[in-house]
Amino acid sequence: MVNLLTEEKETSGETTNVSEPRKQNRSLKRDGQGKKMNESLKMIIVLGLLALIASAMLAVVNYYTKIDENQQIKDEIDAVYPSGIRDEVDVSSISDYMGAEIKAYFIAEDGANIIVAKANKADKVCYNAAGITIIVIIKEGKIDRVLSFSHSETPGLGEKALREDYLDQYNGINTDLIFIPEGEFISSSEDSYFNPSLVSGATYSSNGVSLAVKAAVRAYRSRGN
């Protein structure tokens, strides 16, 4: 009788000893899963912080790049048109024209409108992907001057369309004579409109200049001029 009780106690003790490791295993599994979740959460937080930092740095770089570009534009304008800048026009509301954009718009002390326009590479417009950026000075309803600001057109070919002797053809042209169609980049066949000459072998570059001029005149007209 005593032996049976002893065996039962021993058996009961063995059962208790077996169940404890199982509980420990389950506890370890839960701990392991919890650690994995914590690690995943930490990784998500770290990646999120890195993304925020990268976005902030990019915003700062873009901001100062914009400032540098605007200063470069102002310095160039001061060099070619010493009248001085009286006011700067907000160009955010001026829509692009067939891929050409207005980079900056200033009013000079003498009332002249100084517009920086860029024609981006498109079908039959600009040869190099960098596009063509020009400065168009409009005074008393006429184009006073068109100046090259930046481009990467082919030396000896496309760059001829950015030379002073080519751009001079726009000088003195009334802005009402600049044909600005909406929807398709074409030249007017009517004699009443000004049709600029094209540089032989550099049609795309010539079109880039023409498109940028049209974009500038269009921006000028948008202000009720």
124 and 57, same structural domain? no
119 and 218, same structural domain? yes
Give all strands of the β-sheet with 100-108 in edge-to-edge order. Answer: 85-88, 100-108, 113-119, 132-139, 142-151
89 and 76, same structural domain? no
100 and 45, same structural domain? no
113 and 67, same structural domain? no
Residue where a domain terminates, one of 57, 80, 103: 80
110 and 75, same structural domain? no
195 and 177, same structural domain? yes
Residue where a domain terminates, one of 44, 62, 80: 80
Question: Which tops the pLDDT comparison, 6 or 57?
Answer: 57
**Range with the lowest mean pLDDT among 19-23, 68-72, 167-171?**
19-23
pLDDT of residue 151: 93
* Cα separation, 168 vs 83, whole angstroms: 20
Question: Residue 10: which pLDDT band, with cuts at 50, 70 and 90?
Answer: very low
The boundaries of the domain holding residue 44 are: 1-80
* Cα separation, 111 vs 101, whole angstroms: 22
183 and 110, same structural domain? yes
Question: Which tops the pLDDT comparison, 1 or 90?
Answer: 90
115 and 136, same structural domain? yes
106 and 21, same structural domain? no
What pLDDT, in 10s, does the model give residues 121-169? 999 899 999 999 999 999 999 999 999 999 999 999 999 999 999 999 9
132 and 21, same structural domain? no
7 and 69, same structural domain? yes
Residue where a domain terminates, one of 53, 80, 107: 80
What pLDDT, in 10s, does the model give residues 42-59? 888 888 888 888 878 777
CA of residue 3 relative to chain centroid, distance: 91
* Cα separation, 177 vs 43, whole angstroms: 63
The 3-state secondary structure of 144-211, one letter per residue: EEEEEEEECCCCCCHHHHHCHHHHHHHCCCEHHHCCCCCCCCCCCCCCCCCCCCCCCCCHHHHHHHHH
Overall number of domains in the chain: 2
Residues 6+ apart with CB under 8 A from 203: 124
